[in-house]
């Protein structure tokens, strides 16, 4: 099977600002939950550079998490899940063009611990761990059978956060992440027509830059784009 490479970017953005339950009490837990959307642009190419597959669409989802600060340390964990239907533009094994729909779901979990480097609490660095799973059912059409694929990967990351603005009303940060995947693989189920295959995928360093902003919505809650 030709080598697989993800050329597109999967972008997660807040659809409805998650509602964070916060407290000024030292050591108190901070909870957040909300709705989100994920824009998917996934491509597969052959070694020759020829595009084999492009999958595009928007998946609705939910996200929730918890965090806590203790002294100069802060930890957090977040879980998200997205599910929906996207457009699939590919080809059959014979090389004929094939367009259909793909039922997709993406589940992610991430935890990290940060250490404060300066007395003002503006700069934090630390480590993170993550796991994600992407399942898709490529629908069959006419004489062409569908198939199921499941991509899985864990990762370890170096994390940094710079606080740009910190007040009672508004908080704004820049989050940086460099992540290295651990044993990424894909499992392909041909629905009984062929043997199920599990392929190990290449490992490649990834980078992410985000700017979370939150606004006070009450004495113990905030609205955030996370």
Q: What is the pLDDT of residues 5-41, one digit of tens each?
A: 443 344 444 444 455 555 455 677 888 888 999 999 9
- Going by C-alpha positions, the residue among 104, 30, 28 that lies closest to residue 60 is 104
CA–CA distances in Å: residue 212 to residues 171, 222, 223: 8, 12, 11
* DSSP symbol at 17: P
What is the per-residue pLDDT across 93-141, written as a single tens digit (0 to 9) for each? 777 888 899 999 999 999 999 999 998 889 999 999 999 999 999 998 8
Q: Which of the 8 DSSP states describes residue 15?
A: S
Burial classification of residue 7, based on how many CB atoms lie within 10 Å of its CB (0-12 exposed, 13-18 middle, 19 or more buried): exposed
| Measured distance CA(137)–CA(188) in Å, rounded | 10
- The C-alpha angle 135, 113, 66, rounded to 5 degrees, equals 65
Q: Spell out the domain ranges in the chain.
A: 11-224
Determine how β-strand 147-166 pairs with β-strand 123-138. antiparallel
> What kind of architecture, by CATH, is found in domain 11-224?
Beta Barrel (2.40)
């Amino acid at each position: 099977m030709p080598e697989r490479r993800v050329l597109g970017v999967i972008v997660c953005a807040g659809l409805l600002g998650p509602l964070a339950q916060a407290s000024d009490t030292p050591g108190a837990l901070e909870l957040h939950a909300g709705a989100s959307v994920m824009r998917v642009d996934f491509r597969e190419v052959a070694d020759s550079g020829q595009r084999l597959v492009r999958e595009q669409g928007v998946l609705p989802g939910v996200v929730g998490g918890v965090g806590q600060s203790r002294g100069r340390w802060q930890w957090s964990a977040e879980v998200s899940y997205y599910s929906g239907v996207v457009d699939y533009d590919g080809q059959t094994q014979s090389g004929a063009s094939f367009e259909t729909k793909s039922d997709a779901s993406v589940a992610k979990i991430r935890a990290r611990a940060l250490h404060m480097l300066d007395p003002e609490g503006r700069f934090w660095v630390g480590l993170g761990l993550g796991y994600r799973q992407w399942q898709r059912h490529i629908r069959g059409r006419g004489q062409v059978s569908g198939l199921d694929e499941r991509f899985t990967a864990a990762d370890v990351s170096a994390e940094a956060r710079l606080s740009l603005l910190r007040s009672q009303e508004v908080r704004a940060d820049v989050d940086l992440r460099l992540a290295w995947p651990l044993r990424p693989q894909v499992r392909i189920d041909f629905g009984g027509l062929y043997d199920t295959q599990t392929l190990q995928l290449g490992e490649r360093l990834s980078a992410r830059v985000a700017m979370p902003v939150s606004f006070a919505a009450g004495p113990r809650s905030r609205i955030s784009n996370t």
